A = this chain, B = another copy of it.
Amino acid sequence: MTNFNDAISKLNELDFKNMYNGDFFLTWDKTDDEIKAVWQVADALRALREQNISTKVFDSGLGISLFRDNSTRTRFSFASACNLLGLEVQDLDEGKSQIAHGETVRETANMISFMADVIGIRDDMYIGKGHTYQKEVVNAVTQGNKDGVLEQKPTLVNLQCDIDHPTQCMADALHVIHEFGGIENLKGKKIAMTWAYSPSYGKPLSVPQGVIGLFSRLGMEVSLAYPEGYEVMPEVVEVAKKNSAATGGKLTISNDMKEAFKDADIVYPKSWAPFKAMEKRTILYGNGDTDGIKALEKELLAQNAKHKDWACTEEMMKLTKNGKALYMHCLPADITGVSCKEGEVDGSVFDRYRDPLYKEASYKPYVIAAMIFLAKFKDPVATLNALQKEGKKRVHE
């Protein structure tokens, strides 16, 4: 059972007043206190739900979702978070809408927001586009609210962009905090964020980038490893470096998976596309160069295939701290012998960590709900306490 009072008392020590009316783009936009506030509110909401207490703070209102890529987990996590708070999800399906017809972002953003309290966007396909688009949407609705068009400014939650995947990484970190018995126990621990082979092409970079950008501020040793050519965005590496320096942690980057796994407390092996290839692809798409895209895809698959030894095997796991590092993944993983012939992780390794992996995922709805909660309530602690005191049942008794 999650401890409500513990979460509240920790919240009372944090300064997060600037989150009110804000948005959640990137974890490194936020102060340490703000990041911690998200985790504590997530825990508080979970504690209330575990006690069958309703956390429906909205009597009506919409949560708009826009997914520019297929999604199961994030879609259901967003829907769950909205439902938990009382918002009805309305999906902006670009196939069913008129957006394609040359409509500006500014107009659409206002048109869907008359009764929207939240907008969640996943737009991770093109380098330099997703984050920019999300900024445009927020600027549009902020202006709309100022001009009296919108009665409220909907809060944006980044459900994955080209730079960061904050709802995933914040859930990952909350999982780690609980597994290690508290944030204070993470100091000096080693996490290996490594590339891993997958037979598929063009997976986003937002997870490895988000992980190094966030875990580097916990005083941990963050060991990023990938085959030559699989660099991530240099700006994010800079962020991680600065974070590490500030918190007494360490950031190492290598082309050696074994080095990264050695004595690691946590491993996060996962496929991604090279940053430069993704940039190239973005340009090819912009030019409508389908032959170029096909050629690039072929080239990237061939390049991937050279690194089939980058896999989280039983052998590799033995290198980790006592052979028992916590294995993490954002799911779905490419599991050798299960979902593909050769993939990111051995079937036996994956199977051993199934429970923790599912628990890792279970934090995402609460993390999203917490991001919304902190943006919508001026005094979140007071509101949480009020909910507990009111004690309205989620399920009738």
Q: Given the complex of chains A and B, what is the CA–CA distance between A76 and B75 in angstroms?
A: 19
**A96-B115 contact, Cβ under 8 Å, with A59-B393, A102-B340, A394-B59:** no
A66-88 residues with Cβ-Cβ distance < 8 A to B are 67, 70-73, 75-77, 79-80, 83-84, 86, 88
Say yes or no: A332 contacts B101, CB within 8 Å: yes
**A83-B71 contact, Cβ under 8 Å, with A90-B89, A148-B359, A365-B115:** no
For A12, the chain B residues whose CB sits under 8 A away are none
Whether, in the assembled complex, A396 has its beta carbon less than 8 Å from a beta carbon of chain B, the answer is yes
- Among A90, A117, A396, chain B packs the most CB atoms within 10 A around the CB of A396
Whether, in the assembled complex, A58 has its beta carbon less than 8 Å from a beta carbon of chain B, the answer is yes
Say yes or no: B339 contacts A72, CB within 8 Å: no
Whether, in the assembled complex, A107 has its beta carbon less than 8 Å from a beta carbon of chain B, the answer is yes
Say yes or no: B98 contacts A90, CB within 8 Å: no
Interface size of A by Cβ–Cβ distance < 8 Å? Answer: 75
Say yes or no: A71 contacts B57, CB within 8 Å: no
Q: Tell me the nearest residue of chain B to A79, going by C-beta.
A: B90
Candidates B49, B88, B98; contact of A71 at CB < 8 Å: B98
Say yes or no: B115 contacts A83, CB within 8 Å: yes
A365-396 residues with Cβ-Cβ distance < 8 A to B are 365, 376-377, 383, 386-387, 392-396
Whether, in the assembled complex, A99 has its beta carbon less than 8 Å from a beta carbon of chain B, the answer is yes
A81-130 residues with Cβ-Cβ distance < 8 A to B are 83-84, 86, 88-90, 92, 96-99, 101-104, 107-108, 110-112, 114-115, 117
Q: Given the complex of chains A and B, what is the CA–CA distance between A84 and B77 in angstroms?
A: 23
Candidates B49, B58, B62, B103; contact of A151 at CB < 8 Å: B49
Say yes or no: B101 contacts A75, CB within 8 Å: no
Whether, in the assembled complex, A362 has its beta carbon less than 8 Å from a beta carbon of chain B, the answer is yes
Say yes or no: B394 contacts A61, CB within 8 Å: yes
Whether, in the assembled complex, A338 has its beta carbon less than 8 Å from a beta carbon of chain B, the answer is yes
For A49, the chain B residues whose CB sits under 8 A away are 151
**A60-B83 contact, Cβ under 8 Å, with A70-B96, A76-B112, A76-B114:** yes
Q: Given the complex of chains A and B, what is the CA–CA distance between A89 and B387 in angstroms?
A: 25
From residue A368, how far is it (CB to closest CB) to chain B in Å?
11
For A62, the chain B residues whose CB sits under 8 A away are 79-80, 83
Say yes or no: A147 contacts B355, CB within 8 Å: yes
- Among A98, A151, A365, chain B packs the most CB atoms within 10 A around the CB of A98
Whether, in the assembled complex, A309 has its beta carbon less than 8 Å from a beta carbon of chain B, the answer is no
Contact with B along A43-73 (1 / 0, CB 8 A): 0000001100011111111100001001111
Candidates B54, B101, B147, B339; contact of A358 at CB < 8 Å: B147
For A83, the chain B residues whose CB sits under 8 A away are 60-62, 88, 90, 115
Say yes or no: A90 contacts B76, CB within 8 Å: yes
Whether, in the assembled complex, A204 has its beta carbon less than 8 Å from a beta carbon of chain B, the answer is no
For A88, the chain B residues whose CB sits under 8 A away are 79, 83, 88-89
Q: Given the complex of chains A and B, what is the CA–CA distance between A394 and B376 in angstroms?
A: 12
**A394-B358 contact, Cβ under 8 Å, with A151-B50, A332-B98:** no
Contact with B along A4-27 (1 / 0, CB 8 A): 000000000000000000000000
List 5 tightest A-B contacts by C-beta distance, closest first.
Answer: A102-B339, A57-B396, A72-B97, A80-B115, A149-B358
Give me 16 other A-B pairs in contact (C-beta within 8 A), A57-B396, A71-B98, A76-B111 excluded: A54-B60, A59-B393, A60-B83, A60-B84, A70-B98, A71-B97, A76-B112, A76-B114, A79-B88, A98-B332, A107-B332, A114-B364, A117-B395, A147-B358, A149-B358, A150-B362
**Interface CB pairs A-B, < 8 A, 10:** A55-B60, A58-B396, A60-B86, A67-B96, A71-B96, A71-B97, A83-B115, A88-B89, A101-B332, A101-B339
